[in-house]
Structure 1
């Protein structure tokens, strides 16, 4: 396969895409993504990193719509492979979207590496198609911990899932989103 060809259908990255992602990581370190709340340029790079470099997010189709310090909006366009045996959105898809959105909201505020250490999800209504969108925000932050909340809405604006999470903030060097 040529180096700059499109991704294989199995979801693996081409050599060209891998090189692009390595460049994104390098830029993130050079531009100080690990030094505090992120400015507009770094927020854009964080969103791009999640959309393009995080393989699980790409796999489930999670996309960043908006990110600002302490807040994030992500969405998924529901497809057949997102559905459970009842023909409705699998709970793991809701949970993954909420976790991603809360995680990005934390990273955008703290500018340091963070990891989910606890998460609680409530499933409030079924979805069997269309777009789901998650609004997340940081509710509380200390030096080493952050608490965030995420709410998922269907296309009609109905609240269909929500969650809260606790995130460990790491004060070590490294790229925010690696």
Structure 2
């Protein structure tokens, strides 16, 4: 009986760890309707080639960040989602780990430091993958764009990202 209880507890803890992942999290959410989408804001990235402005959804709450872009097939080339602040409670920056479960569109995931610079770009993430995509260092925000956009526009690590706060 003790072994069975230990197994049940281990499975429960593993499930809790998965649902704690941000963005496309382990929660089985349903596809968002127009009225459930997050508010849209401008996000600007300054690169060596110039400025690029995106109109992205702003995921601020834990629920919005857990939903992320799961189930979405309607992403525009200059659309996406910014997770800011990350974590949603606004505490100090911390390492992030995203995944692509239930996400049918390849994404570029840009991990952003507290100073607004890009720490890491995970480009062309694999749709539906449950592999973790780590930030590699503490971050204050995360920006998801359509897969390949960062390379198309010459966006690089160290470039500066800003949005209305």
TM-score w.r.t. structure 2 length? 0.27
- Structure number with the bigger relative contact order (C-alpha 8 A, sep ≥ 6) is 2
TM-score w.r.t. structure 1 length? 0.26
